[in-house]
Amino acid sequence: MLRHALASMFEPSSLVIVADRPLPAAGSLSPALKAKTTVVACEAGAAPELPDRLEGLAPGERPDLALVCVSPAVLPETLRRLSPLAPRSVILLPHELPDPYPRGTLALCRAWAEENRCELLGPRSFGAQRPHAGLNLSQHPVLARAGRVALLAQSRSIMAAVMDWAEDVHIGFSTAVSLGDEAVVGLPKVLDYLASDPRTDSIVLYLEDVGPAREFMSTLRAAASVKPVIVLKAGRSDTDSGDAIFDAALRRAGAVRVRYFVQLFSAVKVLGYTRRPKGRRVALISNGSGPPQLAMDLIGPDAAVLRAELAPATQRALAAMLEPDAASANPVITFTPLTPERIRAILDAVLDDPGVDGVLVLLAPDALADMPAVARELAQIAPKAKKPVVTCFMGDAGMRPLRRMLDDAGTSAFRTPESAADAFGVLATHYYNQQLLLQTQPPEPATHVPDLTAAREVVARVRADCRRELTSSEIRTLLALFYVPLRDMPMDVAAAEPESRPMAIRVRRDPQFGPVIRFGAGGPDAVLSLADRGVDLPPLNGFLARQLIERSRLWRRVLAPRIGHMAAEALQQALVLVSELVSE
């Protein structure tokens, strides 16, 4: 079986450690790898003396990995002396002494790696960890717990913070990698490796710069098509709608974006849960009125999660088992002290409702209830439930051990209602974006095939005239060649008529992601739609066009109750035709 290009880095069978200080790597190696590990210690500020023969390897045999941590002053000489050993991969860890010429070091590493046919991670990388294999190829003193989530970051400090948090809450990783300066091994290469890694079920990315958009999107789509990918990108775009365009690109790639660092923690926790929802509708169960009200602030038409409408039969079943003043609609609220039997009965009734895609169980401390027994019951129910059950145990002193019990049982337990709702939103958004990722373009019909030759002639004439804008006549010609429907409307249409509501399909070219289509308000209301989610990347098919319309604020707040089926179909078809035009 062929090995991935980065297998020598993340699955090494032999190792050379070159450092001027003790590194954590030597303390956690497996016996098999330890037998093929050569440790070369050197004085600070002095180039290492490398042996002619390496432990466990035949003469001339290439080691898989070299782990290097030396001062910037001796790094060039260290790499020169490392060349005869010809390692397949190198990880350059940061040194306590600052590098006076970081750009020169970057160029040196890139040239050396190319000359020696070597994959190089760094310089100034956090390194990597593979907990299941006992590999701590970093300067982090503690090897993370083994898990099924991979963490990939473009920041050493963010990586260190997440690793420290994960240790406290018993969260494990399959792989943890910080890229450093990306001299050779960059984001797309590592993402490609993780997509095929059998130890990784889901991937979390922290990004600061996506680099070349085409390579990034291609690798991201490939990874997201087989595993959930969550993205936290730092830095808001200064350009018009830059964030909305990046969101649209991630949606089409099937990945999920989170906005804040605290949401990254929720995503890491919930991705360890094997259940995935088949929609956005969530039911809430609580032992008080306060927790669900806090969660409801993150639930609604403009959010990733919708409040489920419980069926009448479900409400009757709940009313029969709850006390008279309990709430049996969504949220389901009981004020009687919970017991394991009651929480199971309530959950069974709600999970059986076909209008529910998942459940949030939001519990506050209750001195009259046996909360540890309730938590143990949830730890039995949630991992086996047919729909996701996300729990929140509010508080710390008495509730933290209960959250840890649920975490260790393989289900997600959160500290606040907001973080629990946000975690379910990650799962729901992943399901939605996967539907977009799976869309393909239909074959072109025999009729109504666009006249591409004539359209390109129109554009060529405009360019020949050194013009950047088309005349009204040229625009109409182009639209007609792609069969985009046009109808002139009188200016004095009555305000009460549906046609009087201005709508707009706008097209622009983003410098990173290319053509972008936006659907939203026209006329004076257009300025209000700049941050709207009604944005997508062409080409579109009917399903994608429909989703674009329904995501827009104009549709949700104005058009949905006013436009009939035929008008919506016509609008959808117009978007598809415009997308064909801009794609060509």
Specify if 336 maps to a domain.
yes
Specify if 402 maps to a domain.
yes
- Answer yes or no: do 563 and 493 share one domain: yes
- Answer yes or no: do 62 and 189 share one domain: yes
Specify if 463 maps to a domain.
no
- Answer yes or no: do 71 and 116 share one domain: yes
| pLDDT score of 494 | 47
Domain end: 213, 247, 270, which one? 270
Structure tokens at 356: 């529910």
**Cα dist from 530 to 81, 301, 365, 519, 558, whole Å:** 56, 18, 43, 10, 17
- Answer yes or no: do 266 and 282 share one domain: no
- Answer yes or no: do 293 and 355 share one domain: yes
Q: Is the peptide bond before 331 cis (omega within 30 degrees of 0)?
A: yes
Specify if 2 maps to a domain.
no
- Answer yes or no: do 263 and 314 share one domain: no
Specify if 388 maps to a domain.
yes
Specify if 461 maps to a domain.
no
Domain end: 425, 456, 471, which one? 425
Ramachandran quadrant class, 421 (left: phi over 0; alpha: psi -120 to 50; beta: rest): alpha
**Cα dist from 354 to 92, 283, 333, whole Å:** 53, 11, 20
What CATH number has the domain bearing residue 499? 3.30.470.20
- Answer yes or no: do 509 and 532 share one domain: yes
Please give the DSSP secondary-structure letter assigned to residue 183. S
CB atoms within 10 A of CB 139: 20
Instruction: Kindly calculate the radius of gyration of the chain based on its CA atoms and give it in whole angstroms.
Output: 28
Residues 6+ apart with CB under 8 A from 532: 244, 518, 520, 551, 552, 553, 554
What CATH number has the domain bearing residue 416? 3.40.50.261
First vs last Cα of the chain: how many Å apart? 41
**Structural contact between residues 82 and 68, judged by C-beta atoms closer than 8 angstroms:** yes
Helices (H) and strands (E) in the chain, counts: 20, 21
Instruction: Please tell me the total count of domains within the chain.
Output: 3
Specify if 436 maps to a domain.
no
- Answer yes or no: do 408 and 553 share one domain: no
- Answer yes or no: do 376 and 244 share one domain: no
**Structural contact between residues 176 and 134, judged by C-beta atoms closer than 8 angstroms:** no
Tell me how far the alpha carbon of residue 561 is from its chain's centroid: 33
Specify if 441 maps to a domain.
no
| pLDDT score of 500 | 55
Note down the domain range covering 499. 483-583
Listed in order, strand segments (DSSP E) in 429-584 are 503-510, 514-521, 535-536
Domain end: 392, 425, 458, which one? 425
| pLDDT score of 400 | 92
- Consecutive 10-residue averages of pLDDT for the chain (584 residues): 87 95 90 93 89 90 95 94 95 92 93 95 91 93 92 91 86 92 89 95 92 91 94 73 87 91 85 80 95 92 89 95 92 95 95 95 94 95 91 92 88 90 91 87 69 87 88 87 76 51 83 89 61 82 90 83 83 88 84
Tell me how far apart the alpha carbons of residues 424 and 150 are, in angstroms, rounded to a whole number: 19
- Answer yes or no: do 257 and 288 share one domain: no
- Answer yes or no: do 108 and 213 share one domain: yes
SS3 state of residue 41:
strand
- Answer yes or no: do 321 and 240 share one domain: no
Tell me how far apart the alpha carbons of residues 479 and 472 are, in angstroms, rounded to a whole number: 11
- Residues linked to residue 393 through DSSP beta bridges, in sequence order: 363
